[in-house]
Structure 1
Amino acid sequence: MALTDTAIRNAKPREKPYKITDAQGLYLLVNPKGSKLWRVKYRMDGVERKLALGSYPEITLAEARSARDAARRQLAHAIDPNVAKRQARIEASIRANNSFATVAEELIEKKTREGLAEPTLEKMRWFVKLLGGDFGKRPVAEITPQELLHELRKHERRGRLETANLLRAFASRVFRYAVATARAERDPGQLLIGALTTAKVKHFPAITDPVAFGALLRAIEDYQGDPAVMYALKLTPHVFQRPGEIRQMEWTEVNFQKAVWIIPEGKMKMRQSHSVPLSRQSLAILTDMRSLSGSGRYAFPSIRTRTRPISDNTINAALRRMGFSKDQMTAHGFRTSASSLLNESGKWNPDAIERALAHMVAGSVRRIYNQSAYWPERVEMAQWWSDYIDELREGGNRCMAARHPLSPK
C-alpha cells in the first residue's frame, strides 16, 4: 500500500527500528529516537543494496519518490545509484576546492615560484581580498559574466573606476589559468571588456620647472627626521628610479668600486634587471647611509625593524610634511621631473633617457642593444644630472652647458 503524508506524520517511534513501505523499493525507516529516514532497496548484479535519500520532513514524500525514480532510471542503464551518488559527492567536493579564491591563490603561488616581483604579488593578494566573500567561494567554473560584473559594479559605483578595471583584468587571469588547468571552460572576464567605465589616465604630479624643482631640493636638504627617510629623500632625485625600487635597495646590490647599483629583475616592474650608474653625489649619500645601516640587509631600513625597508608611502608622507601637497609632487614624480629636465637640456639621446628610467622598449634585440649601447652616455648623464640639480638646489637654473661641455650623442 502506498504511503501518505498522514501515515508518515502519524508514525511513532518503537523500541526497535521499523519500516513503512511505499512502492518499487521505497520505504521509510523509523528509528527509536524518532528520526525518519528514506531508503530505496534495489538489486545490482544479483546483490541487494540500499540507497539513502535523506530524512523526512527535509525530503518530502514526493521528493523521495522522484529520487527513487531517478535511481531506477540509472539501474536501467546499468549504473549503480550508490556509485553515482558517491561520484557526485566527489565532484561537489572538487568544485568546492576549485573556488575562485582557491584558484587565484594557486595562480599567485605559481607566479611566486616564477619570481614575480613582490609588490606585484602583494597587489594580486589584495585583489583576491577584494573579490572575496561569497564570490570568492564560488566554483570558478560556475561563475557567469553577469555575476562577475555585479562584483565589479560595486567598486564602480563607489567611484573606484581604476580598481574595477584592474579587478576585471586580474579575474580574467584567474579564469584563464582555470581554463588552462581544466577547471573551467571559459573566461567571463574577457567577455566584460568594455562593460566598465574607463578610468582617466593617472599622471603622477611632478615639479618640472627648474626654479621650483630647486626649491624642492632645498626643502629636502633641510628635512629632519628618521635618517633612513632623510637619505632616501636625498638619493631619490639623483637616481630617479621607482619609489619601490629605492626603498627596497639592498647593500648587496650596490657596487661602490664600480659606482653602480644593480636592481635584480625580481624587483623590476618590467621583469628585467636594471643597472643604475651612481654619480659622486649618489655615492656620497649612500656612503653616509652605510655608516648607519650597513650592517643590515636594507640600505633604508624601517624605524620599527631593520629586517624590513621603509614603507611604501614613506617618501610621499615626508613630502607632505615638507608642505608639498599630493597635487604638487609625489615620490614617483621625481622620475617625471628628471625625464622632463633631461630632455629639455637637449644634451642626451632620448633613448638613453628612457633606458635610464628603465622603460621597456619593443623588441628583444633592441632591448639588448639598449642595455649596452647607452651605458657610457648614461654614466656621463648621471654625473651631469647630479651636478645640475646641485646647482638648482643652490639657487641656479642654468643648463650648465658651459661647465659640462658634453656633445649630444
Structure 2
Amino acid sequence: MLAKWMFCTTTMPIIPKPLTDSQIARAKPSDKDYKLSDGAGLHLRVRFGGTKDWIFRYKEPHSPKRRDISFGIYPDVTLAEARRRREEARSLLIKAIDPKSHKEQVKRTSAEENANTFALVTREWLKVKSSKITAKYCDQIEASLTNHVFPVIGKRPIKELTPTEIINLLRPIEAKGSRETVKRLCQRINEIMDYAVNTGLILINPLAKINTAFLSPETKNLPTIRPELLPKLMQDLQMASIKIVTRCLIEWQLHTMVRPSEAATAKWADIDFDNNVWIIPAENMKKKNNGDHIVPLTPQSISLLEFIRPISGHREFIFPADRYPKTHTNSQTANMALKRMGYHKELVAHGLRSLASTTLNEHAFDPDVIEACLAHVDSNSVRRAYNRTDYLERRRKVMDWWSQHIENAATGNVSLSNSKVNLKLIS
C-alpha cells in the first residue's frame, strides 16, 4: 500500500505557483533563454539579452500540435494584462478557434478597415456613379466633396465616421446661408455610405438621418417669363446687340426645349436630316442612364440649322465658340446674352423650358407628352418601369405647334427660324 501511495504521488501533475510582480522584476538574464510559468499555458520568457516577453502555449483545435503566441513585452504588457489575454485566448479555444489565426485575421481586417478611408471609398463610388451621370456633373460632385469634405474626413476610416462629426463639419457651411450646398453634401455623403454598406465595407450607414439636423433650403424656381411675354422676348431678341451664333443658340433652345448644356454642345453629326430628328447621345443628357434623347425637329428648327450651316457646317459643333471655334460655345453663353438684354433675374436660359412647359400645359396638351418633350424622368419608379414609350410622333405634333406658336409670337419681328430669313438680311 505504501508503494502504491508513493507511485501515485510521483505521477500527480505539478501545478506551478502563479508569478508575482516582484518575482518578475527580480528575474535576471542567463546565458540562454528561460521561462517562468504562471500556469494555464502563460509563460514569461527571459531572454539572455535581458528582454522579457509573454508567451502563451496551447494545443491547436482539432490537432495535437502545440503553438506559441506572443502577448507582448514586459513591462509594457503587465502581469494582469497578460493574464487577461490568456483568458481571452482560452475562451477562443473552448469555441475551437485558434487564437493565433484569430489575431492575424483581426489584424488584417483592421488594416483593411483603416485603409478604407472616406476619400478612397468616394473614388470607388464615383467610378460607379459616373456611368449614370454626365462627366460634367461627376466633376461637380467630386469638386464639392474635395472642397468641403475631404480636408476634414478624407483620410478618416469610413467605419469610424459619426453623425456628430459630419454635422459639425457642415454647420459652418449652413451658417453662411448655403443650405442647398449642405443638402447636396448630405445626399452625396449618404450615397457613399450606402455604397460602403452594399459592398460590405461597413454593416450599417450611421449617417442616414444627418439631413434632419439642418434647415431645408428655400425653394427657388429658375427665373422665367409668363407666356404672354413671348412676343416681347422675340422683339428684344431681334433688337439685341448679340452675336448671330448666340441669337441662333437661344432660338434653337427655345424651339427644341432642351437644356442649355445640351443646346451648346449640339453636333452636326447628331442631326438626322432624313428623319428630321436630333439624337442627343446619352452621355450628353442630365440622366444619361435613360439612353439617347430623340428631339423631333420642326420646320422652324430645320430652318435654324440651314441658317447657321454657312457659319459652322464645316465644323464639329453647330454653335462654335467665338474665340476657339473648333469647340462648342459655353453653356452660359445664352444666360449672359439674356442678362445683357435686360432679363437679369427675370429669365435665364433654363427658364425657356419652363416657358414652353407652362404654355403647352395652358393649352391642354397631354402632360406626359410635355414631360417627354422636356426629357423629364417620371419620379414614380413603378409608373416609369411600365411606361417605356417616348411618344415620338405625339411629341412631333406638340413641338410643331410650339414652333409655330413661337413664329406667330415673332410676327412683325425677324426670327431666324423663319425660312425666308437669310444671313444677308440679318447682317
User: What TM-score, normalized to structure 1?
Assistant: 0.73
Is 1:329 the equivalent of 2:341? no
- Residue 337 of structure 1 deviates from its aligned partner by 2.4
Query: What corresponds to 1:277 in structure 2?
Result: 296
Q: Separation in 1 of the partners of 2:224 and 2:82? A: 71
Aligned to 1:109: 127
Alignment of 1:3-402 (within 5 A): 24-27=42-45, 38=53, 40=55, 42-45=57-60, 51=69, 67=85, 70-71=88-89, 74=92, 79-113=97-131, 115-129=132-146, 130-192=148-210, 194-208=212-226, 209-210=229-230, 212-218=232-238, 221-224=240-243, 229=246, 231-270=248-287, 271-302=290-321, 309-325=328-344, 327-343=345-361, 346=363, 351-361=368-378, 363-364=383-384, 367-368=387-388, 371-372=391-392, 374-391=394-411, 393=413
Aligned mates of 2:77, 2:341 — CA distance in 1: 70
Distance 1:290 1:42, change over 3 A: farther
Contact 2:53 2:70 in 1 (8 A): yes
Is residue 296–residue 396 contact of structure 2 (8 Å, CA) maintained in 1? no
Task: Find the structure with the greater CA-based Rg.
Answer: 2
Judging changes above 3 Å, is the alpha-carbon distance between structure 1 residues 377 and 60 closer, same or farther for their aligned structure 2 residues?
same
Tell me if the contact between 2:235 and 2:410 (Cα under 8 Å) persists in the aligned partners: no
The 1-side partners of 2:217 and 2:65 are apart by 67
Distance 2:350 2:52 in 1: 68
Contact 1:19 1:28 in 2 (8 A): yes
| Paired residue secondary structure (2:57) | strand
Percent sequence identity is 27
Q: Identify if the C-alpha distance between structure 1 residues 232 and 214 changes in structure 2 by more than 3 Å, giving closer, same or farther.
A: closer
Once residues 293 and 28 of structure 1 are traced to their aligned partners in structure 2, the CA distance between those partners, rounded to angstroms, is: 87
Structure 2 CA distance, aligned partners of 1:50 and 1:366? 64
- Does the aligned pair in 1 maintain the 2:134–2:283 contact within 8 Å? yes
Q: Is the 8 A contact 1:96 1:137 kept in 2?
A: no
Give the letter aligned to residue 191 of structure 1.
K
Report deviation, 1:91: 0.3
Quick check: 2:373–2:395 contact (8 Å CA) kept in 1? no
CA contact (8 A) 1:169 1:189 kept: no
- Conserved? CA contact 2:278–2:294, under 8 Å: yes
Does the CA-based 8 Å contact 1:3-1:21 persist in structure 2?
Answer: no
Decide whether aligned partners of structure 1 residues 306 and 376 sit closer, same or farther in structure 2, where only a CA change above 3 A counts: closer
1:285 partner letter: L
Give secondary structure in 2 for the equivalent of 1:262: strand
Given that 2:260 and 2:350 are in contact with CA atoms closer than 8 Å, whether structure 1 keeps it comes out as yes
Q: Which amino acid aligns with 1:104?
A: T
- Corresponding letter in the other structure for 2:285: M
Show structure 1 runs of 5+ residues with no match: 396-409
Per-residue Cα deviation, 1:330-356 (whole angstroms, up to 9, x for no partner): 121111223334555x48555544433
The 3 A distance-change label for structure 1 pair 305 and 210 is closer
Q: What is the SS of the residue equivalent to 2:187?
A: helix
Q: State which drifts further: 63-72 or 151-160.
A: 63-72
Q: Distance in 2 between matches of 1:37 and 1:330?
A: 77
Q: What is the distance in 1 between the residues matched to 2:34 and 2:319?
A: 77
Q: Indicate the larger mover: 374-383 or 240-249.
A: 374-383
1:251-308 Cα offsets, whole Å, 9 max, x none, are 2221234332122344333525433233444334334544444455433355676775
The DSSP-based 3-state class of the residue aligned with 1:184 is coil
**Aligned positions, number:** 383
CA contact (8 A) 1:211 1:392 kept: no
Name the amino acid aligned to 1:245: E
Separation in 1, partners of 2:204, 2:411: 59
Answer whether contact 2:231 2:409 (CA < 8 A) is retained. no
Any idea what SS the aligned residue of 2:55 has? strand
**CA distance in 2 between partners of 1:249 and 1:62 (Å):** 75
Deviation for aligned residue 1:73: 5.4
